[in-house]
Structure 1
Amino acid sequence: MRVAVIGAGWAGLAAAVDLVAGGAAVTLFEAGRVPGGRARTIDLDGRRLDNGQHILLGAYRETLDLMRRVDADPDTLLERLPLQVVADDGFRLALPRLPAPFNVALGLLTARGVDRREKVDTALWMNAVQRRGFRLARDLSVAAWLDAAGQTGVLRHRLWEPLCLAALNTPASRASAQLFANVLRDSLGSPRRADTDLLLPRVPLGDVLPEPAARWLAAHGATLRFGERVRKLSPGPDGVAVDGEAFDAAVLAVAPQHLSALLPDAPRLDYEPIATVYLQYPDAVRLPYPLRQLTGKSGQWVVDRGDGLLACVQSGHGEWEKLSDHGLAAALQNELGLGGPVRWQRVVREKRATFSCRPGLSRADCVAGQPRLLLAGDHSWADYPATLEGAVRSGRRAAQRALAAG
């Protein structure tokens, strides 16, 4: 069975690996020169860094399984830490290494900067949400959901809203409460303690999965066509023509903003930006915990990349977009308050980093009109917002259906 996979992002790579493992002859098309799509490694002034700071969770089971399949050891490439939310105003919530759900309960009850009444009310609310299976009666904004639950205190501003922005890349005022609830279900609400862990890459993101997956595919007989943009798809009852070349099936795994060029009837989505500001301090500078929440006007999260390199992340449309690269970097240095000038800085902006996760969002289906043309990508995994795990799961689902159709 000959299968074309179009797009070498995390979804396309996942599809290609499972197709090859299932016995298909795979041709992987990628317009760019390197694999990884919207989560790849780029060259910045001679440094191998990521096109945006990404954080993984222990709940990313399919991603971790795929890494192991392509000989990328998660225990070596990722640093696993119990989740902490630490803000620069004194708020701190740390999950202990206890079985679930006791880790979340104790972490909540021992959180700093929150009064006891609010902790108890939040624990009761979370318990009620869990009993309902994290299913809401109707989708609404996260802000409206928190309002209705009486979640209006410190935990709203230091836990729920920042987690919503980090996970959905959409501010709580316009983010889907059901998608956020799904994220909570598989992380803080999971029966597996390890699902709540924070996984920070020890290496550039390309070395975590994209490059090992490309090497594995090449070693197992797949044809990799980098720098080759697909212009036309012609699906038929017995297969799909890709720029005139016949295949038994095709998996379309391009970013959603490029989807309409090949699939005119694809749903139209709105998008949210992400900016990652890299600041190089002296090597000895480090954060007490590698993930810190910023509470100023410009910053949201900062990740300690080691050896004095910090990655500050700004997600979703906001006032920070009005600042120039120099102005944004200067504002973040001021908020960090680490003193002294930085040795090097760069700002990477992705204007359409993810789709906007709004209530009632219409998502593309896996099957694009006929069973031999399948869709993959975070935009097609309706249970999740735009996450690496959603991309990987969608790719593996598309591969399974392509193999079944053959």
Structure 2
Amino acid sequence: MQQHIAVIGGGWAGCAAAVRLTQRGHKVALFEASRTLGGRARRVELDGKPVDNGQHIMLGAYRETLAVMRSVGLDPDNLLRRLPMQMRYPQGKGMDFLAPKLPAPWHMLAALLRAKGLAWQDKLALARFSSLARWIGWRLNIDCSVSELLQRYDQTPRLIALMWRPLCIAALNTPPERASAQIFLNVLRDSLGAQRAASDMLIPRTDLSALFPTAAADYVTSNGGALHIGAAVQNLVQHGAGWQITAEKIGTMAAFDAVIIATQPEHAARLLDGLSNSSTQSIVPNAALQSTRAQLARFSYEPITTCYLQYDPTLRLPLPFMALQDDPARHHWGQFVFDRGQLDPQHAGMLAVVVSASEQAITLPRITLAEQIATQLASVLQLAALASPQWHGVISEKRATYSCRPDLQRPSNQTGLTNLLLAGDYTSSGNAGDDYPATIESAVRSAIICANLL
């Protein structure tokens, strides 16, 4: 039976939920507060230049994300550049780890044997970690920090600095000393521990809005759904057996059979706190709803900064992206650098430098941070011209992701009220072994769960 369903939030979770519900014959209304779909993975403009609000990298293991892209007529093979699993630093500045195109697990073994910049004790430590993780089925009886896990498995300081720390920060956007080891193992299991293609790194060739959200909106509206842009939802009211929504510029809309809240945790918490009933003007909190509210209130957040540097269009790095060693004491903030021109010719000469978990970096004036990152690139890449970009732009998302801690209790998709669900990368699948950190794939998976529940 067709239902009229409201999806609040036009990020990747909201767009994926709207698409799946539309495909199942429901009538969907998608509400987005901003003018651009995509949430924390969307196109923005800096000084008139179209860029993303953060440089992203995906994995071949992102099964649900790739599937929902294909379902609206997109071809991930054209939109994403697929590279083998790698951790490659500028020559002489770290290590060179590159997985060849061999069946799993031989691709990782060959990468380990060929890796440059690692001593034999480092390689043995990496092999030991992989073997022990497989032996325990990538599961911990009691979660701990990633740092504790690495210490328990006798990982060497050099391997931690060049491999495990940057991987942890890139995947969880949380430093190893406070990051969940179980969530980290989940990501490693589905990438390093799975089929070779699952470990491939997928870098967007186009802007993040065009990568899926724009096509998702077109799909929903062309199939009878409604898109409300610039319409922040102000409150929800339980209206008989359904739901009533009040949004900016629209007013009050009733007769929704179900609502999916697909916003960031703090926005979801505000909507849940403001719930009311059309007859009593209040909703008596049940245990499940109280638990959800309490869990949302406990979230803390981690920032991400992306620094864009524009050089002469003839500039080209040796690789599409490279790892960098951050060292705040030397004002080296960058952790990864991407050559946008190798991904999209329209961005020739533009580099994107990512600083994850960037608490210290975001305290600096943006011009100072850009200058220090440009100096870092010039030093490690041994190219003086990199110290003087033609243009720079800095985007800092202070609450880019939740802090993925071992003790974090994530809410389920069900709020405790009939046909009122939560979707987002912060929700739990109900099984700790299936939970992901704050990634596009986690957001899409949560959306699919909501669609299945309805």
Alignment counterpart, residue 356 of structure 2, candidates 280, 290, 315: 315
Letter matched to residue 166 of structure 2: P
| Identity, % of aligned positions | 46
The amino acid across from 2:427 in the alignment is S
SS at match of 1:27: strand
Amino acid at match of 2:360: E
Partners in 1 of 2:366 and 2:403 — Cα distance?
23
CA pair 353-80 structure 1, distance change in 2 beyond 3 A: same
Distance 1:261 1:323 in 2: 31
Q: Is the 8 A contact 2:60 2:202 kept in 1?
A: yes
Output the CA distance in 2 between the equivalents of 1:227 and 1:12: 15
> What's the C-alpha RMSD, in Å, of the aligned pairs?
1.4
Q: Does 1:339 align with 2:384?
A: yes
* Preserved contact between residue 238 and residue 372 of structure 1 (Cα < 8 Å): no
2:425 maps to 378
Structure-2 residue corresponding to 1:126: 130
**CA-CA distance at 1:246 after TM superposition:** 2.2
Alignment deviations for residues 82-123 of structure 1 (CA, whole Å, 9 cap, x no partner): 122112314110010001111111112221111123212321
Post-superposition offset of 1:280: 0.6
- Output the amino acid matched with 1:223: A
TM-score by length of 2: 0.86
Gaps of 5+ in 1: none
Query: What is the identity, as a one-letter code, of the residue corresponding to 2:384?
Result: G
Counting only pairs closer than 5 Å after superposition, residues 2-401 of structure 1 correspond to structure 2 as: 2-88=4-90, 89-190=93-194, 192-235=195-238, 238-243=241-246, 244=252, 245-264=254-273, 265=293, 267-268=296-297, 269-297=299-327, 298-306=333-341, 307-337=348-378, 338-340=383-385, 341-382=388-429, 383-401=435-453
Deviations 1:216-237 (A, max 9, x none): 1111111111111111122467
Structure 1 CA distance for aligned equivalents of residues 72 and 311 of structure 2? 35
Deviations 1:143-200 (A, max 9, x none): 111111111332211111100000100111111111111110111111x211111111
- Conserved in 2, the CA contact under 8 Å of 1:377 and 1:391? yes
Aligned to 2:287: none
* 5+ residue gaps, structure 2: 247-251, 274-292, 328-332, 342-347, 430-434
- Number of aligned residues: 401
Deviations 1:360-381 (A, max 9, x none): 2011110011240111000114
Q: By how many angstroms is 1:288 displaced?
A: 1.6
Which one has a bigger Cα radius of gyration? 2
CA deviations 1:255-289 (Å, max 9, x no partner) are 11211110132522100001100001111222222
Larger RCO (CA within 8 A; separation ≥ 6): 1
* Contact persistence 1:251–1:399 (CA under 8 A): no
Runs of 4+ off more than 6 Å: none
Does the Cα contact within 8 Å between 1:59 and 1:196 map onto a contact in 2?
A: yes
1:330 maps to a residue whose letter is E
Q: Are the structure 2 counterparts of residues 110 and 355 from structure 1 closer, same or farther at C-alpha, using a change threshold of 3 Å?
A: same
- Distance in 2 (alpha carbons) for counterparts of 1:330 and 1:25: 50
Amino acid at match of 1:257: E
2:352 and 2:17 map into 1 onto residues whose CA distance is 30
State the alpha-carbon separation in 1 of the partners of residues 437 and 369 from structure 2. 27
- Deviation track 1:301-341 (CA, whole Å, cap 9, x = no partner) reads 11111111110011114432332111111111111113222
